[in-house]
Chains A and B, each alone.
Chain A
């Protein structure tokens, strides 16, 4: 079945460091790919998305590129801030009749001043 694999956390960085959170997927067909962010005690918010191969999603300085050849959707940010501390989830939306999201296990990012 379809699945998403994320790098395990926690990821601890100093402010202004470069961030990469790896995400790879297994899917049949042509899924859409998403990154969601969850701040403590809250629900998930969409961070960015890409709907086809080679698309780059971007938002708030975060970027991810849909790489079909490597089945990857790695999240990057050039300079993290303390306010970026949160749990980040990679997800795919199955192609077909539904919009079910398949999530990775989440990666906790802690940014220290």
Chain B
């Protein structure tokens, strides 16, 4: 089945550690996105990539980094510089950069700082 797979589903991080969230898609989509979800704030865009080896900062990129070495994969690293990383992280992909196309979402990773 085609889709987006995020792993792990739950992740615990100690303060000062970097952690990497995985996102893989087999939909052959060019564009991929990372969103952060906090209660009462909707989804906020962290980074997005429209093509392999290229990505742009979203609205809240500070403290995060990404790579796009393969079309199928768009991992997100939450660095120790991110002061409040506890949140639900959602990865999404879409066919391309047409505004009419829908985004497909993974099941999310819940990150908790302990």
The chain B residue with its CB closest to the CB of A4 is B42
Contact B100 A89 (CB under 8 A): no
Instruction: Tell me the dominant secondary structure on chain A's binding face.
Output: loop
Partner of B48, one of A32, A95, A100, A104: A100
Contact A105 B40 (CB under 8 A): yes
Contact B99 A32 (CB under 8 A): yes
Cβ-based interface call for B25 (8 A): no
Residues 74-113 of A contacting B (Cβ, < 8 Å)? 89, 93-101, 103-106
Question: How many Å from the CB of B69 to the closest CB on chain A?
Answer: 21
- With A42-B107, A99-B103 known to touch, is A89 a contact of B97 (CB < 8 Å)? no
Contact B99 A93 (CB under 8 A): yes
A-B contact pairs, 21 of them (CB 8 A): A31-B99, A36-B105, A43-B90, A43-B92, A43-B105, A43-B106, A44-B92, A44-B105, A46-B102, A49-B100, A51-B100, A94-B99, A95-B99, A98-B50, A99-B94, A99-B98, A99-B103, A101-B45, A103-B35, A104-B42, A105-B41
- Contacts of B58 on A, CB cut-off 8 Å? 100
Total chain B interface residues with beta-carbon distance under 8 A: 30
Partner of B96, one of A32, A99, A106: A99
Cβ-based interface call for A45 (8 A): yes
Point out residues on A near B: beta carbons under 8 Å. Answer: 4, 31-32, 34, 36, 41-46, 49, 51, 89, 93-101, 103-106
Q: How far is the CA of A94 from the CA of B43 in the complex (A)?
A: 15
B 72-114 to A, binary, CB cutoff 8 A, 1 in contact else 0: 0000000000000000001010101111111111111000000
The chain A residue with its CB closest to the CB of B94 is A99
- Contacts of A106 on B, CB cut-off 8 Å? 42
Contact B97 A97 (CB under 8 A): yes
- Contacts of B101 on A, CB cut-off 8 Å? 99
